[in-house]
Amino acid sequence: MRTSGRTRKAAVIAVAGLATCATLITGCSSSDDNGSKGSDGKSSSSEQITLHIGDFNEFGYNDKTGAKLFSEYEALHPNIKIVEDNVTDGQQYWDSLKLHLQQGSGLDDIQAIEVGYIAEAIQPQLASKFVDFKSIKGFSADDWVSYKEKQATTADGQVIGVGTDIGPTAICYRTDFFQQAGLPTDPQQVAALWNGDWAKFVQVGEQFKAKAPSGVAFTDSAGGLFNAVLSSQPTQFSDQTGKLVYDSSPGVKTAWDLSAKAVKEGLTAKLQQFDSNNTWSAAFKTGKFATVACPSWMTGLVSTNSGPANKGKWDIAQPPQAGNWGGSFLAVTKASKHQAEAAALAQWLTAAAQEVKIFQKFGNIPSNKGGLSDPAVQNTTNDYFGPAGKPAPTGKIFATTAQSIQPAPIGPDDGTVKDIITKNGLLDMEQRGTSSEKAWSNVKAQVKDKLGE
Amino acid sequence: MATSVRATSDGSPPSSRPAPSTSRRGDPGAPGNWRAKLYRLDTKASPYAYIAPFFLVFAAFGLFPLIYTGWLSLHHVELGESGSGSWVGFDNYTNLWDNQFFWKALRNTFTLGVISTVPQLMMALGLAHLLNYKLRARGFFRVAILAPYATSIAAAALVFVQLFNPDYGMINQLLGHFGVDGIRWDSSKWPAQIAISSIVTWRWTGYNALIYLAAMQAVPSDLYEAAALDGASRWRQFISVTIPSIRPTIFFTIIVSTIGATQLFGEPLIYGGGVGPTGGTDHQYQTLSLYMYDKGWQVGQLGQASAVAWVMLLILLLIGAVQLLVIRRSRRKLGS
């Protein structure tokens, strides 16, 4: 009896001990993590330090799937070790980064920021948590395409990030469907159909629809068309001061009217881009639409979603007007104990040579001018697109587009309004046949509900 | 309090114990007095210490969030904002009153609640009645009907999303054989609400059936025998013996299901896919919980979200009060 009682007690103690240990370990490891980020104190060039870089999705830096840039940098600087903290979902990444910034804890030395959130990041409250690149040696905003660094510049002139990639947008189209509809298939001729005006793009859609193969819509979604048109407009959701002007913006009106027209005439496949039910990505394979607005990063999605069976059926043409959709920045946090080293790493990662390496591996278009004009980028082709033996000159198409992009002012609420317009306004028109006027007043009511203006 | 009173009034065994112990240790100075004080403290205070853990945990995880949410609902607070926000009085509540999306969410919560709870409880009652018979492999069936309850909301919702897909889902294919084509389960209001309530019904029917079954087995069998002798059919027995006997259980499940329906969240969120928190492109199936989540975590207006949370609580209390009244009245009618 006594022994069994004692063993039971011992077991209870052991279990309790284990549980405490478990909490201690998790607690420890995270605090240890924080500690190592800042524990090294002062920095000299020979001291061993660890730099943490936080990013989302796929930046193409790591050794496993990326361009092995971290190990390259570690070889150049034997005293530096780089650790990447990657979060798959960009929205989740930004939400937690925002909380970390506001609380001033849990921050990495370098944090990536997507262009959709950069306008929020340059607001005084958040911008004060980042190092101003203007104070960093060797930084020149002119190294990047004109609008890139402008987007990361605060009202009082502080530059909080260096540009990684940009998303110049072209048009991907199915040559087989175009041929069946009696349209040209050669990229030059196709581009000539709509050159200079998105309205012509919709007109081509009307021509396509008249002789379209059954079950094939001209373009994938009204939301995608809206984004593509809007990204080429000089005024978008916000004015120069970042104030929301979507209701009176000529750019938004143009994009809305054209998308609404496309919906009304049945030119869209009524899909929602990136929906979590994968209906949109499945429609690539089943050939439900003939065109999709193609930022540089979209080419990868087109090929994986369409699958090897559809290789050679897609091609890429210049868009009616040049626009940018996507891209990111690297920012150095003031919470970092190694700001100088972190800034140096961020500058190295976004230098022309490195951005070219990432492009070759991943197709991310460099935002650095040197990288953009590099022959390695200019001469790149993608053999998934274009007829067999004549791969599409993606490097040239995207680089050309990138050079003629007009910068547009951005604001902190752009993302919210864009979401409401594409998901609630246009998708509602597509799925339920809501009229354009009613959909627009719904959009306004929802923006008012969410943002109070 | 009752325990401590009883302990002192008939507490002869404990009072005998301290005396020898003091003498053994030979406590110097005011021995009896100090001991008695300690003893009184023990009988008076230690019960509070025993029940304290519950109240501390309740205060930390029940009462404090409740009050803090109420306090937030009277302020303008943004997510992640440091500081305490600014006092706005009942503005958050009056804004809700004027807000079409709030009313829409309230209506949706009500309709979704009705079409998911009513058929669910009816089916549960029927299933329990069937399982109450002596049938082969009864244990297997009892486990089987509880199986949906063991799946996660996310997994169930994702499977139903595939089933209800308007383009290639199984339900539309099946309906196509009967000449019903192209129901937009994703965007039309009623089809979408029916699809969502079918997820809820599927998950919870078995659970409620088991509760009914447990109650049915406690009904004395001589009641059925007497009814059978009087020539009552099976259906008559079910209506006149089973239902009245398990009435309290039925009320219990109605209240629990009502609370569950008012808080409906995961199913419409996942069912909505990319348009999740708005509950469809035109808020066709946005519930109050989704609206609260949208306000709090997507828009970042914690004050407004807290106001929605408090309104939900008040609605639940109101429904609870109505149900209580109905139960009281029905009891009085029965005369028992």
What is the DSSP track for B214-281?
A: HHHHTS-HHHHHHHHHTT--HHHHIIIIIHHHTHHHHHHHHHHHHHHHHT--HHHHHHTGGGGGGSST
Measured CA to CA, the distance from residue A141 to residue B96 in angstroms comes to 47
| Token pair recorded at residue B169 | 């889902």
- Are B273 and A274 inside 8 Å of each other by CB? no
Contact of A113 with A121, CB cutoff 8 Å: yes
The band of B333, judged by pLDDT with boundaries at 50, 70 and 90, is confident
Question: Closest Cα of chain A to B85: distance in Å?
Answer: 15
Whether the predicted pLDDT of B259 surpasses 60: yes
Predicted pLDDT at B80: 66
Measured CA to CA, the distance from residue B79 to residue A410 in angstroms comes to 22
Question: Closest Cα of chain B to A153: distance in Å?
Answer: 23
Measured CA to CA, the distance from residue B129 to residue B134 in angstroms comes to 11
- Name the residue in chain B with its Cα closest to that of A441: B282
Measured CA to CA, the distance from residue B21 to residue B27 in angstroms comes to 9
Measured CA to CA, the distance from residue A441 to residue A424 in angstroms comes to 11
Which residues does chain A have within 8 Å of residue B188's beta carbon, measured at their own beta carbons? Answer: 432
Q: Could you tell me how far CA B34 lies from the centroid of its own chain?
A: 51
Measured CA to CA, the distance from residue A114 to residue A151 in angstroms comes to 11
- Name the residue in chain A with its Cα closest to that of B271: A277
Residue A223 lies in a domain: yes
Neighbours of A438 (CB within 10 A): 13
**Which residue among A308, A339, A373 closes a domain?**
A373
CA-to-CA separations, B64 to A243, B59, B61, B92, in angstroms, rounded = 38, 6, 6, 20
Same domain, A107 and A202: no
Residue A231 lies in a domain: yes
What is the DSSP track for A92-121?
A: HHHHHHHHHHHHT-S--SEEEEEHHHHHHH
Same domain, A90 and A21: yes
Which residues does chain A have within 8 Å of residue B82's beta carbon, measured at their own beta carbons? Answer: 102-103
Residue A2 lies in a domain: no
| Token pair recorded at residue B105 | 């969410």
Predicted pLDDT at A300: 82
Same domain, A347 and A225: no
Contact of B312 with B295, CB cutoff 8 Å: no
Burial environment of residue A440 by CB neighbours within 10 A (0 to 12, 13 to 18, 19 or more): buried
**Which residue among A317, A348, A373 closes a domain?**
A373
The size of chain B, in residues, is 336
Residue with tokens 């975590």: B297
- Are A416 and B299 inside 8 Å of each other by CB? yes
Residue A379 lies in a domain: no
Phi, psi (deg, nearest 5) at residue A310: -100, 15
Same domain, A240 and A341: no
Question: Closest Cα of chain B to A446: distance in Å?
Answer: 8
The band of B26, judged by pLDDT with boundaries at 50, 70 and 90, is very low
Which residues does chain B have within 8 Å of residue A451's beta carbon, measured at their own beta carbons? Answer: 299
Contact of B67 with B74, CB cutoff 8 Å: no
- Are A432 and B281 inside 8 Å of each other by CB? yes
Whether the predicted pLDDT of B42 surpasses 90: no
Whether the predicted pLDDT of B93 surpasses 90: yes
Query: How many Cα atoms within 13 Å fall on the side-chain side of residue A154?
Result: 20
**Rg of chain A, C-alpha, whole Å:** 25
**Chain segment B235-250, per-residue pLDDT in tens:** 898 888 999 999 989 9
**Mutation for A interface: B270, B281, B298, most A CBs within 10 A:** B281
A80-87 and A49-56 strand pairing: parallel
Same domain, A306 and A296: yes
Measured CA to CA, the distance from residue B154 to residue A39 in angstroms comes to 41
Predicted pLDDT at B29: 54
With vertex at residue A348, the alpha carbon angle to CA A81 and CA A117, rounded to the nearest 5 degrees, is 95
Which residues does chain A have within 8 Å of residue B275's beta carbon, measured at their own beta carbons? Answer: 272, 423-424, 427
Burial environment of residue B273 by CB neighbours within 10 A (0 to 12, 13 to 18, 19 or more): buried
Sign of the four-CA dihedral A45, A48, A54, A60: positive
Bridge partners (DSSP) of residue A113 are: A329
Question: Closest Cα of chain B to A270: distance in Å?
Answer: 11
Which residues does chain B have within 8 Å of residue A424's beta carbon, measured at their own beta carbons? Answer: 275, 278, 281-282
Q: Could you tell me how far CA B320 lies from the centroid of its own chain?
A: 12
**Mutation for B interface: A276, A288, A413, A447, most B CBs within 10 A:** A276
Burial environment of residue A52 by CB neighbours within 10 A (0 to 12, 13 to 18, 19 or more): buried
Nearest to B296 by CA among B280, B287, B308: B308
- Are A272 and B274 inside 8 Å of each other by CB? yes
Contact of A140 with A167, CB cutoff 8 Å: no
- Name the residue in chain B with its Cα closest to that of A283: B167
Chains A, B: CB contacts within 8 A come to 60
Residue A382 lies in a domain: no
Contact of A204 with A193, CB cutoff 8 Å: yes
Q: Least CB-CB distance to B165: which of A102, A279, A432?
A: A279
**Mutation for A interface: B97, B99, B168, B282, most A CBs within 10 A:** B282
CA-to-CA separations, B190 to A2, A270, A427, B111, in angstroms, rounded = 67, 20, 18, 10
Neighbours of A111 (CB within 10 A): 31
Query: Residues of chain A whose C-beta is under 8 A from some C-beta in B?
Result: 95, 98-99, 102-103, 272, 274-277, 279, 282, 416, 423-424, 427-428, 431-432, 434, 442, 445-446, 449-451
Measured CA to CA, the distance from residue A430 to residue A423 in angstroms comes to 10
Phi, psi (deg, nearest 5) at residue A80: -110, 135
Same domain, A332 and A438: no
- Name the residue in chain B with its Cα closest to that of A100: B80
- Name the residue in chain B with its Cα closest to that of A450: B299
Predicted pLDDT at A452: 75
Q: Could you tell me how far CA B328 lies from the centroid of its own chain?
A: 21
CATH for A67: 3.40.190.10
- Are B101 and A428 inside 8 Å of each other by CB? no
Query: Residues of chain B whose C-beta is under 8 A from some C-beta in A?
Result: 80-82, 99-101, 161-162, 165, 167-168, 184, 186-188, 273-276, 278, 281-282, 294, 297-299
Question: Closest Cα of chain A to B62: distance in Å?
Answer: 24
Predicted pLDDT at A146: 82
A162-174 and B86-87 strand pairing: unpaired
Q: Least CB-CB distance to A277: which of B101, B161, B188?
A: B161
Provide the phi-psi class of A326: left if phi over 0, else alpha when psi is between -120 and 50, else beta.
Answer: left
Question: What is the identity of the amino acid at A81?
Answer: K
For chain A, the helix, strand and coil percentages under 3-state DSSP, each to the nearest 5:
50, 15, 35
Residue A383 lies in a domain: no
Same domain, A157 and A211: no
Exposure pattern of A2-34 as b/e (b: 16+ CB <10 Å)? Answer: eeeeeeeeeeeeeeeeeeeeeeeeeeeeeeeee
Measured CA to CA, the distance from residue B200 to residue B211 in angstroms comes to 17
Q: How many domains does chain A have?
A: 2
Residue A197 lies in a domain: yes
DSSP label at residue A213: P
Same domain, A422 and A392: yes
Which residues does chain B have within 8 Å of residue A276's beta carbon, measured at their own beta carbons? Answer: 273-274, 276
| Below-70 pLDDT ranges, chain A | 1-46, 453
- Name the residue in chain A with its Cα closest to that of B184: A431
Same domain, A349 and A310: no
Question: Closest Cα of chain B to A419: distance in Å?
Answer: 9
Same domain, A363 and A232: no
Whether the predicted pLDDT of B1 surpasses 90: no
Residues contacting B297, CB < 8 A, separation 6+: A95, B79, B305
Measured CA to CA, the distance from residue A180 to residue B167 in angstroms comes to 24
Question: Closest Cα of chain A to B7: distance in Å?
Answer: 30
**Chain segment B95-148, per-residue pLDDT in tens:** 999 999 999 999 999 999 999 999 999 999 999 988 888 778 888 888 898 899
Question: Closest Cα of chain A to B176: distance in Å?
Answer: 18
Residues contacting A295, CB < 8 A, separation 6+: A167, A168, A169, A170, A324, A325, A326
Nearest to A315 by CA among A218, A191, A423: A191
With vertex at residue B61, the alpha carbon angle to CA B57 and CA B62, rounded to the nearest 5 degrees, is 100
**Mutation for B interface: A429, A431, A440, most B CBs within 10 A:** A431
Measured CA to CA, the distance from residue A246 to residue A196 in angstroms comes to 23
Query: A183 in helix, strand or coil?
Result: coil
Same domain, A142 and A275: no
Task: Tell me what percent of the residues of chain B surpass a pLDDT of 90.
Answer: 52
Same domain, A118 and A257: no
**Rg of chain B, C-alpha, whole Å:** 28
Question: Closest Cα of chain B to A387: distance in Å?
Answer: 31
Q: Could you tell me how far CA A162 lies from the centroid of its own chain?
A: 15
Residue A351 lies in a domain: yes
Which stretches of A1-42 are DSSP H helices?
2-38
- Are B275 and A423 inside 8 Å of each other by CB? yes
> ipTM above 0.90?
no
Residue with tokens 């379209």: A212
Mean pLDDT of all residues in B71-87: 82
Instruction: State the residue range of the domain holding A61.
Output: 13-166+327-373
A162-174 and A314-317 strand pairing: antiparallel
The band of B186, judged by pLDDT with boundaries at 50, 70 and 90, is confident
- Name the residue in chain A with its Cα closest to that of B279: A424
Which stretches of chain B are DSSP H helices?
2-9, 12-16, 18-25, 31-58, 64-72, 91-97, 100-131, 138-150, 153-163, 170-177, 189-217, 221-229, 234-237, 243-245, 247-262, 266-271, 288-293, 302-334
Predicted pLDDT at B15: 44
Which residues does chain B have within 8 Å of residue A412's beta carbon, measured at their own beta carbons? Answer: none
Q: Least CB-CB distance to A427: which of B99, B101, B281?
A: B281
E strand map for A129-181: 162-174
**Mutation for B interface: A94, A441, A449, most B CBs within 10 A:** A449
- Are A432 and B187 inside 8 Å of each other by CB? yes
Query: B85 in helix, strand or coil?
Result: coil
- DSSP H or E run through A395: helix A394-403
Measured CA to CA, the distance from residue A173 to residue A75 in angstroms comes to 43
